[in-house]
Structure 1
Amino acid sequence: MKYILGVDAGSTKTAAAIADETGKIIGRGNSGPANIHQPDSKKNLKKAIDNALADAGIKAGKFASACFGVAGTDTPKSLKKAKDLVSKIISAENLQVYNDTMLVRPACSDKKYGISVVAGTGSNFYGIDSKGREERVGGLDYLLADEGSAYRIGQQGMNAAVKSYDTRGEKTMIENLLLEKFKVKSIRELANVVYDKNFGKYEIASIAQVVDYAYSQGDAVAKSILSEAAYEIALAINTLITKLELEKEDPSKWDIVATGGEFMSPYPFEEKVREKILANKNNFMVCKTEPVDGAIKLALEGIK
């Protein structure tokens, strides 16, 4: 029996799946984040794969084909780093290593081209046309990009709370919610939390949940922050449509597939993003299938 391995190594979690040669998934495993820039990426990759092997009831061996989607591989250097790391963990006759954005569309669509959207802890956007031309937008991590992501929403939420406290901006309940979340008495004290060496990208991204809650309670500032995030996601999609001239393509041949935690927000991201898309907006969908299933599909293609 030949076995196929698919892995989605994200910035929040890692998911692995093992399938037989027909594509039927026989085992799944999860672990912590494995963004290529995270110190525990190797450990978490191995743990997710080991858990999937245990779930499938098989021992580690050479896979017929394997596909990895690894977050943080947005440059040739980081992609090579991921390939080198993966090759030390598993053996496969056919090995594919991509940016994790590449898994999104195959997970929910059988169409060969279109746009993939990730809006979770970070954000990333990838498109391919009928001629095989590829383009990317964003995906340069939190210091250079990440518009439309939980990180950016959290960052703007903190800034709005400071302005609310200082009376430089509109009053928002985000201010008090942050005091509760971090167990401090004033926004001034919050500085001791956010400038601690252990407070970083993922802690800031968690503040997006505070903004979501404020929005659900009718907070106007929270609504404005989330509306801007939806605008940025649509802007990235439209940039890819324009660069690849997808508006000239047969709309039945391509689609736009999105995934990520932002699409689970109480704010209607799917609706608001769709409203702003330039072309083929009816083929915009939020993928309910795990991206790791897209990795299995791509790995399976490697042995056909």
Structure 2
Amino acid sequence: MNKNTIELLAVDGGGTKTRAVLVEADGTILGEGKAGASNYHVVGAEGAKKTLVEAVLAAFNDAGIEPDHTVKLNKAVFALAGIDTVIDEKEVAGVVQRAVTALSIEIGRLLVENDCLSTLLGATQNNAGILLIAGTGSIIFAHDGNNRIVRSGGWGHRVGDEGSGYWIGKQAIQAVLKMVDGRGEETLLSKLILEKFNFNKIEDLYNWTYSDSYSVDEVGALAAVVDEAFRLGDTVSKRILDAAVSELLLLIETAIEKADIQQDEFDMIFQGGVFHHNHYIKNQVCQRIQQSTTKVKIRTTTEEPISNIIKRGLVLI
């Protein structure tokens, strides 16, 4: 294909995978590319640059277009994880600029922003709204429909991500260790977690948590085990899920107050594995928010974030 002008390049980059899409003005996808992690906190600045180049090149290859100085992109949105502070903004902007230089492509309007923020603005088309993501991690963004954009949470698995899959999984492991010590109640989580990891004894679980094999994603996957134990009547698991509900509600209430949209009509979008797979948490959060905020319209979406990042890019002037 000989195409020198492309309307939009949309990139969704996270801690495990990166997706790049070339898009026509009417939303038609010309080509798509995928690569690994592009969060510079995970792979470093140089690693992030290489991943972005790889994903974008794959999109051009899929579209049958040779990327060089003759190709012009009217707009490009790089929606990337890891942009949480002013320092992050500067660092990631440099990473993206080096990637664009390496690709030798011309971009008319270049936007680099936090991936969750980009998804929210695309999903709500700049109207008032809230996006709460509870997957392996957790974060919330709110927009008042004008110029106020606020966030809460998203501080990572070491010091934050309350209510997320990882947080739930970590609480489950702690509950098992407390049970072994005699400091906590008996819980089905002991048996189910050992089966999940194919361990023979609790000591194996403990050793794994301090080994090189320890994985944030695998701990996050234990949220499903907690849900299973809850459905089997495990009271410890119910307390963990209730605590997660409280943490997610705190994120929501804080975002609503900071964005000052208490009296407004707005969409609230739930995204992430916790909402898709744990119906107890989703139902509890929905019921309690609707009781306190009558004008909210709640949506749970399975739509890929890149779809909303594309919408975000297409409306850019």
TM-score (norm 2): 0.85
For residues 71-91 of structure 1, the C-alpha deviation after alignment (integer angstroms, 9 at most, x for no partner) is 121111112221111122234
Structure with larger RCO (C-alpha < 8 A, sep 6+): 1
Partner secondary structure for residue 161 of structure 2: coil
Aligned to 1:236: 251
Determine the C-alpha separation between the residues in 1 that align with 2:59 and 2:222: 31
Q: What count of residue pairs does the alignment treat as equivalent?
A: 300
Amino acid at match of 1:232: E
Aligned to 2:197: 182
Amino acid at match of 2:48: S
> What's the offset of the Cα at 1:216?
4.3
> What's the offset of the Cα at 1:267?
2.9
Partner secondary structure for residue 82 of structure 2: coil
Amino acid at match of 2:52: L
Q: Is the 8 A contact 1:107 1:289 kept in 2?
A: no
Which residue, 271, 276, 295 being the options, matches 1:259? 271
Aligned to 1:110: 125
Structure 2's unaligned 5+ residue stretches are none
Amino acid at match of 1:258: F
Where in structure 2 are the equivalents of 1:281-296 lying within 5 Å? 282-296=296-310
Distance 1:133 1:143, change over 3 A: same
Which residue, 96, 101, 104 being the options, matches 1:86? 96
Q: Is the 8 A contact 1:108 1:289 kept in 2?
A: no
Where in structure 2 are the equivalents of 1:209-228 lying within 5 Å? 209-228=224-243
Determine the C-alpha separation between the residues in 1 that align with 2:141 and 2:300: 15
Amino acid at match of 2:183: R
Distance 1:282 1:54, change over 3 A: same
Where in structure 2 are the equivalents of 1:21-170 lying within 5 Å? 21-39=25-43, 40-60=47-67, 61-90=71-100, 91=105, 92-170=107-185
Amino acid at match of 1:270: K
Determine the C-alpha separation between the residues in 2 that align with 1:151 and 1:41: 24
Q: Is the 8 A contact 1:231 1:276 kept in 2?
A: no
Distance 1:282 1:246, change over 3 A: closer
> What's the offset of the Cα at 1:146?
0.5
Aligned to 1:173: 188
In the alignment, structure 1 residue 268 sits paired with structure 2 residue 280? yes
Structure 1 moving runs of 4+ over 6 Å: none
Distance 1:34 1:281, change over 3 A: farther
Say what the alpha-carbon RMSD is for the aligned residues. Answer: 2.3
Aligned to 1:279: 293
TM-score (norm 1): 0.89
Distance 1:176 1:152, change over 3 A: same
Say which one has the larger Rg: 2
